[in-house]
Copies of this chain bind each other. A is one copy, B any other.
């Protein structure tokens, strides 16, 4: 009977006006409509406001007629879906996935090609994708262009990055939509490989705020076997159009039916907290394909890493960037190599003493003598340690100290080389008991002509995660394309960098104070970011008087980032000696959880501030992080998230009165108060500052 009703519905409405789907709350509505030429279009309203006006949908194919006109509707179906699922690691124990769906099945009159458009309306936004069913009329095909439009109506404020096909490590530009212009940004920003296709191409997630105060975010979810979508802005008309990343010969995607495009997402809310809190991107990904996930564990870690960034030691062994990798090196040590057995044991001791789960060591393996900037295919073999890095002894030492080692695989962009060595690299990890790997892709991609955001690389990053799962290994990818929720499907994909991390503060113009207030509205929608917070020695002049670079926050804000920047694999990035010097502040890093039962987004404004409270998984303790941009911020928060009737010891790590990210970044104070869920706490954030609080129940 249901079937019959569906058919009647189609008959009655299939060739008439718009098909619509509304969010469960009814606040957001999407309409689908064919134009008179049979071009699919859609529009989106928020309450009574038109947010996206009639925007084209269409795909151009290589050597085949374009799928952008001559369509007619065959059927149209509305569904509702509501489930609750549990992420393996996450910001909350359970996630609700509730949406209404509209599936419009089209057929192209001149070709008989069938194309479905699938629209989903969630309470915080809409999503849609192209669905190519299996059919005789379309089997293998090549996408030469996707013509999805997002036609906005106002000159929004936009937080944008240039639409670089090779890098997402830019600082954010905060301008009006009409002022988007890649030619005006400072390119002396420390990024090695840049491939910007034009003046007006920007990246997603694209976070915007309308003049009337509506928050709009355009992104994508479940980018699988498809290139990353950038957006080309028409700055005069506030229109955006998809710009897919091409491969070496200009094609965008090679597909075979049945298949689907990624989801194109538009989040809309008049409360910015709905955007940071959203799990829509995760919900749009497939459930976990891993049956056993017991081996996937959160990790707080230290590592031999920041000491290279500040210039205390080097990744390479020979102290030369102009020698040739020889495997079984005959080069002489410079004496400045960071990844020595002795130094690694020092970090293991430190980790064991302070309760860290893991130790990352970069520069452990041969190849760093000519790794960077040479577009060289065979730089690293991922298994040969430098002669001063006794991997067997280190593995045994770490095991005895109950510390896990974190592997590092820098590929220098040579994916061809990494893929052919991947099984051996992972076998080596299993052999030496490394449960997680940090991957790196600094450099132009090999196969030459491919770019970080193309279909080939999207598939590569997924391939590494899947192969890692075969060996029960966790992956934390750096310089990868932006995650779009694949961590739901492969929970061993625990984190990625894929944005401008803390490291840029050590040797470039750095990350301005607003940077960390934007990332949770953008990059982190797709999955956890390994931002590497926790830098206490803020100014690089500490290491070298001549240096002017600095981390552009206060010390207290570095602590707050452990709460505001969610990641289940979270580094305490500074040097052990610096933590020992500020051991009272360090206590927060030792205490803070990295996996959560529950998260409360208390205050949020992209580019300005963010306050989040989270409850540690399986415990009664809560942690709060509050951060601000370059402006000081005084506010008061209610502690009503705490359990009723419980008393908590709140240790408040805050900026000292005269603290300032630039002038006086290390001035912090720590106070302890007893609170309940009816208490309030005043937060006083310095310019570029923050507050971190731990709440431990005392009864």
Contact = CB atoms under 8 A, between A and B. Distances in A.
Contact of A248 (B249, B256, B376): B249
A19 to B, nearest CB: 31
A534 B376 CA distance: 46
Contacts of A374: 140, 256
B376 A254 contact: yes
**Which of A247, A370, A448 has the most CB atoms of chain B within a 10 A radius of its CB?**
A448
Interface stretch (A339-347, A391-399, A417-425): A417-425
Interface in A448-471: 448-450, 456, 459, 463
A112 interface: no
A256 B447 contact: no
A249 B250 CA distance: 10
Nearest to A375: B254
A502 to B, nearest CB: 31
Contacts of A423: 423-424
A416 B256 contact: no
Interface in A507-554: none
Contacts of A449: 247-249, 447, 449
Given A422-B420, A423-B423, A423-B424, A448 B249 contact: yes
A416 B446 CA distance: 11
A248 B446 CA distance: 11
A270 interface: no
A247 B463 contact: no
Contacts of A248: 248-249, 447-449
A376 B254 CA distance: 8
Nearest to A463: B420
Given A248-B249, A256-B324, A423-B423, A447 B377 contact: no
A251 interface: yes
A17 interface: no
Interface string A570-585: 0000000000000000
A449 B419 CA distance: 19
A308 B653 CA distance: 76
A448 B256 contact: no
A254 B416 CA distance: 14
A416 B140 contact: no
Given A256-B324, A374-B256, A376-B256, A448 B251 contact: yes
A139 interface: yes
A125 to B, nearest CB: 33
A459 B378 CA distance: 11
A254 B419 contact: no
A322 interface: yes
Interface string A127-163: 0000000000001100000000000000000000000
A140 B420 CA distance: 23
A423 B422 CA distance: 9
Interface residues of A, number: 28
A249 B449 CA distance: 6
Interface in A586-622: none
Interface string A245-284: 0011101001010000000000000000000000000000
Contacts of A375: 140, 254
B463 A456 contact: no
B140 A376 contact: yes
Interface in A400-438: 416, 419-420, 422-424
Nearest to A136: B322
Contact of A254 (B140, B254, B377, B450): B377
Nearest to A421: B423
**Which of A247, A248, A251, A420 has the most CB atoms of chain B within a 10 A radius of its CB?**
A420
B447 A416 contact: yes
Contacts of A424: 423
**Which of A249, A377, A416, A463 has the most CB atoms of chain B within a 10 A radius of its CB?**
A416
A329 to B, nearest CB: 16
Contacts of A256: 324, 370, 374, 376
A449 B254 CA distance: 13
Contacts of A322: 139
A235 to B, nearest CB: 31
Contacts of A459: 377
Contact of A419 (B139, B376, B416, B448): B416
A424 B377 CA distance: 22
Interface string A298-323: 00000000000000000000000010
A1 to B, nearest CB: 32
Contacts of A450: 447
Nearest to A140: B374
Nearest to A378: B459
Contacts of A324: 256
Nearest to A456: B447
A70 to B, nearest CB: 25
A381 to B, nearest CB: 13
Contacts of A370: 256
Contacts of A140: 374-376
Interface in A360-374: 370, 374
Contacts of A377: 254, 459
A367 to B, nearest CB: 13
Nearest to A247: B448
A254 B377 CA distance: 9
Interface of A: 139-140, 247-249, 251, 254, 256, 322, 324, 370, 374-377, 416, 419-420, 422-424, 447-450, 456, 459, 463
By Cβ-Cβ distance, the 6 closest A-B pairs, closest first, are: A447-B447, A248-B248, A248-B449, A419-B420, A249-B449, A423-B423
19 contacts: A139-B322, A140-B374, A247-B449, A248-B248, A249-B448, A251-B448, A254-B377, A254-B448, A256-B370, A256-B374, A256-B376, A416-B416, A416-B419, A416-B447, A419-B420, A420-B422, A447-B449, A447-B456, A449-B449
Given A249-B449, A416-B447, 13 more contacts: A139-B322, A247-B448, A248-B249, A251-B448, A254-B375, A254-B376, A254-B377, A256-B324, A256-B370, A416-B416, A416-B419, A419-B419, A420-B420
